[in-house]
Amino acid sequence: MGLLSTLSTGAMAGLHGYILVLEMFLWTSPRGRKAFNLTAEFAEKTKALAANQGLYNGFLAAGLVWGLVHPDAGFAKQLRLFFLSCIAVAGSYGAATANRKILFIQAIPAALSLAAVSFDL
């Protein structure tokens, strides 16, 4: 594993761990509402959906961490490629359907990390 691919994968795992916390535990707090530009009323009505979405982001983070720690380098690379691809697709879909900012926060960083992993940078 190259240093850039390791650091970028770790950063993506950290980002998705942070998103898990925002969506599962801070959705209705001032910090969560500010992060997603929500009214208090809308945040309250959608907190169950956000928590579910946060859980999925946690699975993505866990998959990336698995790819970082797995002892078999070939399988670890496959794990990282799979989970980064999932993030790139989800980020692209989110940018197209929900908020364009997701492209820059999630999809493009995942694509760059995918390139780093693919080329063992």
Contacts of 25 (CB under 8 A, 6+ apart): 54
Supply 3's token pair. Answer: 């240093």
Under a CB-based contact definition with an 8 Å cutoff, are residues 117 and 80 in contact? yes
Contacts of 18 (CB under 8 A, 6+ apart): none
Alpha-carbon distance of 71 to 102, in angstroms, equals 32
103 DSSP assignment: I
Domain total for the chain? Answer: 1
pLDDT at 1 over 90: no
Domain housing 74: 3-118
pTM: 0.93
Q: What is the pLDDT of residues 26-50, one digit of tens each?
A: 999 999 999 999 999 999 999 999 9
